[in-house]
Amino acid sequence: MTQAGSEAGQRSVGTAQVASIGECMIELSKSGNGLFSLAYGGDSLNSAVYLARLGISVDYVTALGDDPWSEEMVRGWQAEGIGTERVVRVPGRQPGLYIIDIGDKGERRFHYWRQTSAARLLFALPETPDISAALLEYDLIYLTGVSLSLYEEAGRARLFDVLDRARDQGRRVAFDTNFRPRGWPTRETAQLAFREALQRSDIVLASSEDLELLFGKDGVRELPVSNPDVEVVLKMPEPMVHIHHAGEKHLVPGDPIQAVVDTTAAGDSFAASYLAARLTGAGVVEAARMGHRLAGVVVCHRGAIIPRSAMPPDMLQEIRSRGETR
């Protein structure tokens, strides 16, 4: 999200309510001549922004400090149409920070300073019981592998308990397998947490790259593709996804992209588009195609959040039209 935020979000479509759990950090990226530009970002926040822009009602669930950067983040989220009622403020804490280093081919590397960020305390605060109870009210809870890495073992246990209770009440859980090794104390800890999350997911948005990095060359075998009740979307290195849903498998290619500028938030925008399409009644193949379309636009811009004017207007209209008829 840019420092100044953006214009107010559009009216939500349909009735689905989404909670996106995670962390937003201060983002610094090289802008030339040795200077850095300031923005805000994080995988689950990026997805929340794109969900809101696509007309989905979404709240961001996190903890922030009482500093000026936290204040600016909240104002920016509200300007994008994201709900902030589930943002806990922790006196004396601040957001984390990361720097993006972009390679010659648009590939990015991240350097983090986040060990004392407020977001890491979300499931270890006096407000945690209220947040846990509130999460049971949402139709869909969205979280990522990065979300899991924020919390200590006890905090993850509280989160998993919330997911269990939510699913018992007919709510759904979507899990994106974003894996960042530096966020974890050991690979074994990450493997255990990912397996716990996969067992509690109704929709899995996976990346073969993430799974191989975490579990080894056969990492995709960790996915619950044999369970017809779980919707598995596996993104491959080439613009292609494999979908396992209701006992069927689909291959959905994306269009080649000639001028990749920055791959930041490619997966986050794909996830948002896919979920927005599914929440408004699209089939899995159509949803994947829409995910490819938005991700293809995002990678042609620098930064995680593209200008609102760059959002594909036909896709916005399609999702809104479908949602309004549900």
Residue 224 within a domain: yes
Which of these, 229, 177, 240, 234, lies nearest to 202 by C-alpha position? 229
Annotated active-site residue 101? The verdict is no
Please provide the distance, in angstroms rounded to a whole number, between the alpha carbons at the two ends of the chain.
30
53 contacts 10 by C-beta, under 8 angstroms = yes
- pLDDT interval class at 105 (50, 70, 90): low
Strand residues in 137-278 grouped as ranges (E): 140-144, 172-176, 203-207, 231-235, 240-245, 248-253
As a whole number, the mean pLDDT across the chain is 91
Yes or no: say if 171 and 136 are a contact pair by the CB < 8 Å rule.
Answer: yes
Flag whether pLDDT at 82 surpasses 50: yes
Overall average pLDDT of the 82-86 stretch: 97
pLDDT digits (tens, 9 = 90+) for 239-253: 899 999 999 999 999
Q: Is the pLDDT of residue 18 over 50?
A: yes
Q: Give the separation between CA 272 and CA 278, rounded to whole angstroms.
A: 10
Residue 8 predicted with pLDDT over 90: no
How many helices (H) and strands (E) the chain has is answered by 10, 13
pLDDT of the residue at 323: 66
Over residues 123-161, the pLDDT tens digits come to 999 999 999 999 999 999 999 999 999 999 999 999 999
Domain of 70, CATH number, reads: 3.40.1190.20
pLDDT at 173 over 50: yes
Number of domains in the chain: 1
Phi-psi map region of 303: left, alpha, beta (phi>0 left; psi -120 to 50 alpha): left
Residue 311 lies in a domain: no
**CA atoms of 110 and 101, how far apart (whole Å):** 6
Residue 299's pLDDT band (cuts 50, 70, 90): very high
pTM (predicted TM-score): 0.92
Q: Three-state SS for 165?
A: helix
The answer to the question of residue 314 being in a domain is no
**Residue in 296, 287, 290 with CA at minimum distance from that of residue 255:** 296
- CA 168 to chain centroid: 23
Residue 231: partners with Cβ closer than 8 Å, 6 or more residues away = 202, 203, 204, 243, 244, 245, 278, 284
The answer to whether residue 13 scores a pLDDT higher than 80 is no
The identity of residue 95, as a single letter, is P
pLDDT tens readout for residues 28-66:
887 778 888 888 989 999 999 999 999 999 999 999 999
Whether 201 shows a pLDDT value over 60: the answer reads yes
Q: Is position 142 within any domain?
A: yes
Note whether residue 245 is domain-resident: yes
> For residue 296, is it within any domain?
yes
Catalytic residue, chosen from 43, 59, 176, 268, is 268
Residue 29 lies in a domain: yes
Structure tokens at 28: 């610094």
Q: Which SS3 state, helix, strand or coil, does residue 234 take?
A: strand
pLDDT at 212 over 80: yes
Structure confidence by residue, pLDDT tens digits, 273-287: 999 999 999 999 999
Kindly report the number of other CB atoms within 10 A of residue 136's CB atom.
Answer: 15
Domain hosting residue 27, numbered range: 17-304
Q: What is the pLDDT of residue 216?
A: 97
Residue 208 covered by a domain: yes
The whole-number pLDDT of residue 319 equals 86
